[in-house]
A and B are shown apart, each in its own frame.
Chain A
Amino acid sequence: MNIIWLGLILIGVAVAAFTGRASAVTDAAFAGGKLAIETIIGLAGLMALWMGIMKIAEKSGLMEGIAYLLKPVVRVLFPSVPGEHPAIGAMLMNISANMLGLGSAATPFGLKAMQELQELNPDKETASEAMCTFLTLNTASITLVPGTIIALRATYGSANPAEIVAATLLASLVAGIVAVVMDYFVRTYNRLRGR
């Protein structure tokens, strides 16, 4: 991440020197900071709301119940997470929300899952295997109803805005399977090398 971050800035400034866009870069840097705060203001209320609901789910034993049902899947994907850990319930909620296209509900559930995984993580500065697997699942997860796109297509006058749903499902399923398999191999490879 350090290299990516530094690379983006250095390449950006270097290119700006050639294209003569120094002032645009200055404006963009400040606008980026402003956008971060605006994004957080939008997100903070939603996060508080969903984490509040999640707390009720947790205290009423709902999370453990979900985790119990998913035990067999979890054992393969998350060998380092104990069977009935609250992280599993939170991860499931995150992935379900993603599948339904509820991005604003998915993020708080996902962050809750990350907190739970962090408690199991022996090295708090470094990502654990379980975190990498979870993020793989998250970024590769299937969207059943790509609502935003359908709405966008309808806005621009599509005769059948939802016609892309089946193709989208297929493509995201393929990407998801490949990602999960890659994650599995990287994990196994690291373990064999003793890392």
Chain B
Amino acid sequence: MSLLDSVSLWAVPAMLALIPLWGAIRKVKVYEAFVEGAEEGLEVAVKIIPFLIGMLMALSIFRASGAMELLAQAISPVTSALGFPSEVLPLMIVRPLSGAGALGVTADLLKTHTPDSYIGRLASIMQGSTDTTFYVLTVYFGAVGVRKIRYAAGIGLAADIVGFLAALYACDWFFR
């Protein structure tokens, strides 16, 4: 893993140095090009704000009202039939909605059950093999003003469910 570690350590500095260097070799006015791109970046950031406010508000209401806990109770028969321990259920619900939230849940599980326990390992693998689907959809489609997202949400959520199942089987396979 040390090779991968150093790749991820050096990836950003290398890109920051090599891309402008290559630009200069190809006679691009690098500073002016950078500023032009940065301006576009800020415009995109501003465009996302309304979408993000709408989505985070709805999610916060859903969580604070206790609806999230009800949902956990409702789906727990299904998930326990599939073999998921009930401890990781909150992680499964929060994961597609909020990256920071899911990290908080995982941190809590690691602290309570220790990282090297079955729950700790399973939570780590689940966190790593799924994504914050709703956040990604909100931000990416929001940035270009697309409002009708067709089947993207369905596939994203299905991928997360497959990811959870795969995490469960991978954890059993590697650690039992």
**A positions within 8 Å CB-CB of B:** 1, 4-5, 8-9, 11-16, 19, 21, 24-25, 27-29, 31-33, 35-37, 39-40, 43-44, 47-62, 97, 100-103, 105, 107-108, 110-111, 114-115, 117-118, 121, 124-127, 131-132, 135-136, 138-141, 143-149, 152-153, 155-168, 170-172, 174-176, 178-179, 182-183, 186
List the 3 closest pairs (A to B, CB-CB), nearest first: A55-B37, A51-B41, A28-B64
Query: How many residues of chain B get a CB closer than 8 Å to chain A's CBs?
Result: 101
Label chain B's interface by main secondary structure: helix
Cα distance A24–B130 when bound, in Å? 29
Interchain CB contact under 8 A, B39 and A60: no
What is the CB-to-nearest-CB distance from B22 to chain A, in angstroms, rounded to a whole number?
5
Chain B interfacial positions (CB closer than 8 Å to A): 1, 4-5, 7-8, 11-12, 15-16, 19-20, 22-23, 25-26, 28, 30, 33-42, 44-46, 48-49, 52-67, 70, 99, 103, 106-107, 110-111, 114-116, 120-121, 124-131, 133-134, 136-137, 139-141, 143-153, 155-156, 158-160, 162-163, 166-167, 169-171, 173-175
Chain B residue numbers with a CB within 8 Å of A138 are 131, 136, 140
Contact B64 A44 (CB under 8 A): no
Docked CA distance A110–B135 (Å) = 13
DSSP majority for the A interface? helix
Whether the pair A49, B41 counts as a contact (CB closer than 8 A) is: yes
